[in-house]
Amino acid sequence: MRKIIECVPNFSEGKRKEVIDEIVNAVKETPGVRVLNISSDPSHNRSVLTMVGDDKGLKQAVLTLFEKAVSLIDLTKHKGEHPRMGAVDVVPFVPVKGVTMDDCIALSKEVGKEVGERFKIPVYLYEESATTAERKNLAKVRKGEFEGFFEKIKDPAWKPDFGPTEVHPTAGVVAIGAREFLIAFNVNLGTNDIEIANKIARAVRHISGGFRYVKALGMSLEDRGIVQVSMNLVNYKKTPIFRVVELIRAEARRYGVPVIGSEIVGLVPNDALLACADFYLQLEDFDPSQVIENRLEEEG
């Protein structure tokens, strides 16, 4: 089967179009890698690049990204609303097809080692690749941001996993790791009462007692006069979409409110949707190799 890994580096430039283009165009030339999306936010002054490929291709693409970003981005002059600690701020590797989480962890370490050595940038392994419990959480790693890291890095608890123990003067530090695919998923409710969306968000999200791999907020969609439970599903294998939807339906019923629709924002792995078909059709002994497209991949 063809191996597919997704890589979603965030880098600290969201305003200067010529800089963004130069970085993205260099990455695009990497054999075996496809850039699926580039999303730049001027107020965040940050860009998110979505690409897929195999391990070799992505390693090369990420090194190219660092080469360009280090030469074109100077964090001492960078301002933006989004917290950041590096010119390349964070590099997650995500298993999509034919690869395991362990493969992606190994890839993140290989890339991290090379980034540290070649570019003299301190590297923190995060999420599934983390070497301490604290480093699992990107927000904790990034706390203090670029400016604070000149002190933070002296703390033995924050000795980098790879690279020098001194912050790169213009490119800062970087978090590199492996994580599950993140699905941005919203459920729309037939009410304009934001409190109902907030209550349901609290019911489903991990932090307040809900599903382990769900982050959720209530949001108003003013133009439609409705509210929404806006979510990140950070591990759709362990907290699947259908289970989240069914819980929200049950909670919404309790307020006499219907679910009027849902939205997948951006990309979704095929198997996350096959799992929903499997659940709702009550399939017995469904085997993904019954899907023609999968059968062809297997034999290919």
Active-site positions?
82
Among 73, 87, 174, 245, binds a copy of itself (CB under 8 A): 245
Nearest distance in Å: CB 4, a copy of itself: 7
Q: Taking CB under 8 A as the criterion, which residues in 47-76 touch a copy of itself?
A: 52
Distance CA 45, CA 68 (A): 17
The residues with which 265 forms a beta bridge, in sequence order, are 184
Q: Does 259 bind a copy of itself (CB under 8 A)?
A: yes
Tokens of 86: 């590096």
Contact 49, 64 (CB under 8 A): no
Running DSSP on this structure, what letter comes out for residue 143? T
Comparing C-alpha atoms, which of 37, 77, 53, 49 is closest to residue 5? 53
Distance CA 220, CA 197 (A): 8
Which among 21-29, 66-74, 109-117, 255-263 is the span making contact with a copy of itself, rule CB under 8 A? 255-263
Distance CA 63, CA 140 (A): 25
Q: Does 255 bind a copy of itself (CB under 8 A)?
A: no
Nearest distance in Å: CB 182, a copy of itself: 12
Distance CA 17, CA 293 (A): 39
Q: Taking CB under 8 A as the criterion, which residues in 129-188 touch a copy of itself?
A: 188
Among 25, 34, 38, 146, binds a copy of itself (CB under 8 A): 34
- At residue 207, φ and ψ (nearest 5 deg) are -60, -30
String marking each residue 261-300 x if it binds a copy of itself according to CB under 8 A: xxxx-xxxxx--xx-xxxxxxxxxxx---xxxxxxx--x-
Nearest distance in Å: CB 99, a copy of itself: 13
Between 6 and 161, CB nearer to a copy of itself = 6
Running DSSP on this structure, what letter comes out for residue 86? B
Nearest distance in Å: CB 249, a copy of itself: 9
Nearest distance in Å: CB 288, a copy of itself: 10
Between 87 and 227, CB nearer to a copy of itself = 227
Tokens of 63: 């090194």
- The helix/strand/coil state of 62 is helix
Given the structure tokens 């989240």, which residue do they identify?
244
Q: Does 222 bind a copy of itself (CB under 8 A)?
A: no
Tokens of 26: 């260099």
Type of residue numbered 236 = Y
Nearest distance in Å: CB 228, a copy of itself: 11
Between 176 and 245, CB nearer to a copy of itself = 245
Contact 97, 11 (CB under 8 A): no
Q: Does 241 bind a copy of itself (CB under 8 A)?
A: yes
Residues that bind a copy of itself (CB under 8 A): 4, 6, 34, 36, 52, 96-97, 188, 241-242, 245, 259-264, 266-270, 273-274, 276-286, 290-296, 299
